[in-house]
Structure 1
Amino acid sequence: MTGIVNTAQAEAWNGYEGEHWATHADRYDAVNSGFNDFLLERVSPGDRVLDIGCGNGQLTRLAAARARSALGVDLSGPMLATARARAAEVSNVTFEQGDVQVHPFVEGSFDLAVSRFGVMFFADPVAAFGNVRRALSAGGRLAFLCMTALSGTDLGRLFGAMAAYLPQPTGPDGSGPTSFADPDRTRAVLTEAGFEDVVCTPVEADQVWGRDVPDAARFIADWGPVRHHLGLLDGATAAKATEALTEALEPFAGPEAVRLRGTAWLVTGRRP
């Protein structure tokens, strides 16, 4: 792997977090794949596609089916192993382990850069997106999905139910998974990184979190950030947090699955 500057994230995604996502690749795809078409509809047959924070590689493979080629880049060794195994017979897909902020992309080597919730954790987002911009050809396009603010969302209801026991999944400075929840900040970062015509569009999709409430509650409790904070609590308090989560999931249970309505920003821009 090339040099890493985002060391905290590299440690997480090559430890428990990455291993959990790799082990439960199908489950995480069930959570996020409803958003795929917002990105895939932007892929053209001749495109050379860069998938930023590609994870287990589902989006990379689907983009490759519509494009000339696709490269997925991620910090996580465990998830890239899954991505490579699942794309073993896809001839126009490759994967590389690296930190997008400093990865040595060949300038102008891609026509489209996409990401499905893989851009929210950069140590220096301006530098990272500046590197992505250099990797794009003149007029190259950028399209990514990122989390909205949690307030008023189904996922926000779950974290709100646990708020008495666990911190919210974002820092007071806007860091964390909702780091691009403010469109004004997103536009400012991308503009400083050299992108033009930046547009932030709200989109929604169903997200499947489990086959029933106990299954979904276990899965969410084992999700890296939740598991970490539960581990900091005494047993009784952790049990109360899990009970609150389970109760909050009840309204979202259907006959076949627990579904939440997910919200995201679809962010687009282009290299001049």
Structure 2
Amino acid sequence: MAQIVNVHQSEAWNGYEGQHWADHHDRYDAVNNGYNESLLDAAAIGPRDRVLDIGCGNGRVTRLAARRARLGTVTGVDLSGPMLARARDLAAQEDIPNVTFEQGDAQVYPFADGSFDAAISRFGVMFFADPVAAFANIRRALREGGRLAFLPMAPLGATDLGTVLATLPPRDEPAIGTHEQGPLSLSDPARVREVLEGAGFADVSCAGVEVEQIWGRDAPDAARFVADWGPIRYNYGGSDEIVDTLTRAMRPFERDGAVRLRGSNWLVSARR
């Protein structure tokens, strides 16, 4: 494995957090699949492109990108050994030969200069120890004119997940972290622009994307899944009381055999 500077995140994604995502890859994809086409369209992936998937996790977006870049190559990079093992297995099951997966920290990974036409990420870029340095490294890996497209979380605000999490007992810090660190670190478009322009990117744009997210087959199932999700488990411990609270909050969103929450996040694009 290449050099790691984001040690805390490496420990998390090679511990409980990464194993939970690997074990429940299909469930996390059910939550996030609605964003896939918008992300890939924003990256304008062509059949011969060389694509970098940053924080690729279990590799769902990596595999979809590889189908678009059928005569090109797609490289997924992630800190998580458990998720990369799952990604390789799924790519083999789906017989997708033009993907490779590397374990490493994208902030310092030794990419060859100008070796990619596009870089993408579905919720995998919010955890860098130094985001400006990380995106500068990603920019270096892109050819001149190369495209960057990624999805960071937007503020939960009036989203359905925000409504659900608002029922949990209050804490000194929000359940999924602050705007300075964690999943919400790039939730402010002004901050996104500051980071990307500081890293040397141009033509930065940020647009909202709203999709339906499937969190479980019914309220108890979705509640147990959310209670075991890393940030909630870390802050609340996954007790029966928390599961009961989440179950009650999920009830209004049961529809057509699933718990369906309205999700709204940012889609960012830029160019080297």
- TM-score of the aligned structures, taking structure 2 as reference length: 0.94
CA contact (8 A) 2:22 2:83 kept: yes
In the alignment, the residues of structure 1 paired with residue 62 and residue 195 of structure 2 have an alpha-carbon distance, to the nearest angstrom, of 25
Q: How does 1:19-168 map to 2 (within 5 A)?
A: 19-41=19-41, 42-67=44-69, 68-88=72-92, 89-164=95-170, 167-168=173-174
Residue 229 of structure 1 is matched in structure 2 by 235
CA contact (8 A) 2:220 2:243 kept: no
The answer for unaligned runs of 5 or more in structure 2 is none
Aligned residue identity for 1:35 = Y
In the alignment, the residues of structure 2 paired with residue 180 and residue 114 of structure 1 have an alpha-carbon distance, to the nearest angstrom, of 15
In the alignment, the residues of structure 1 paired with residue 136 and residue 175 of structure 2 have an alpha-carbon distance, to the nearest angstrom, of 26
Helix, strand or coil for the counterpart of 1:87? helix
- Aligned residue pairs total 266
In the alignment, the residues of structure 2 paired with residue 38 and residue 163 of structure 1 have an alpha-carbon distance, to the nearest angstrom, of 35
What's the CA shift for 1:112?
Answer: 0.4
Matched, 1:240 2:246: no
> Between the two proteins, what is the percent identity of the paired residues?
61
Aligned residue identity for 1:103 = Y
Greater CA drift, 150-159 or 27-36:
150-159
What's the CA shift for 1:240?
Answer: 3.5
Aligned residue identity for 1:249 = M
What's the CA shift for 1:175?
Answer: 1.4
In the alignment, the residues of structure 2 paired with residue 166 and residue 24 of structure 1 have an alpha-carbon distance, to the nearest angstrom, of 29
Aligned residue identity for 1:148 = A
CA contact (8 A) 2:16 2:230 kept: yes
In the alignment, the residues of structure 1 paired with residue 171 and residue 181 of structure 2 have an alpha-carbon distance, to the nearest angstrom, of 20
The alpha-carbon distance between structure 1 residues 21 and 171, as it changes in their structure 2 partners (threshold 3 A), is: closer
In the alignment, the residues of structure 2 paired with residue 214 and residue 105 of structure 1 have an alpha-carbon distance, to the nearest angstrom, of 44
What's the CA shift for 1:164?
Answer: 2.5
Residue 14 of structure 2 is matched in structure 1 by 14
Helix, strand or coil for the counterpart of 2:268? strand
The answer for unaligned runs of 5 or more in structure 1 is none
In the alignment, the residues of structure 1 paired with residue 204 and residue 127 of structure 2 have an alpha-carbon distance, to the nearest angstrom, of 20
In the alignment, the residues of structure 2 paired with residue 165 and residue 180 of structure 1 have an alpha-carbon distance, to the nearest angstrom, of 22
- TM-score of the aligned structures, taking structure 1 as reference length: 0.94
**1:204-262 CA deviation, whole Å, 9 max, x = no partner?**
1111000000100010011111111222x9xxxx4433322111111111131001011
CA contact (8 A) 1:166 1:230 kept: no
Q: How does 1:177-256 map to 2 (within 5 A)?
A: 177-231=183-237, 238-256=239-257
In the alignment, the residues of structure 2 paired with residue 35 and residue 193 of structure 1 have an alpha-carbon distance, to the nearest angstrom, of 25
Helix, strand or coil for the counterpart of 1:260? strand
In the alignment, the residues of structure 2 paired with residue 118 and residue 82 of structure 1 have an alpha-carbon distance, to the nearest angstrom, of 16
In the alignment, the residues of structure 2 paired with residue 76 and residue 166 of structure 1 have an alpha-carbon distance, to the nearest angstrom, of 29
In the alignment, the residues of structure 2 paired with residue 46 and residue 113 of structure 1 have an alpha-carbon distance, to the nearest angstrom, of 14
CA contact (8 A) 2:179 2:186 kept: no
In the alignment, the residues of structure 2 paired with residue 100 and residue 145 of structure 1 have an alpha-carbon distance, to the nearest angstrom, of 16
Aligned residue identity for 2:160 = D
Residue 268 of structure 2 is matched in structure 1 by 267
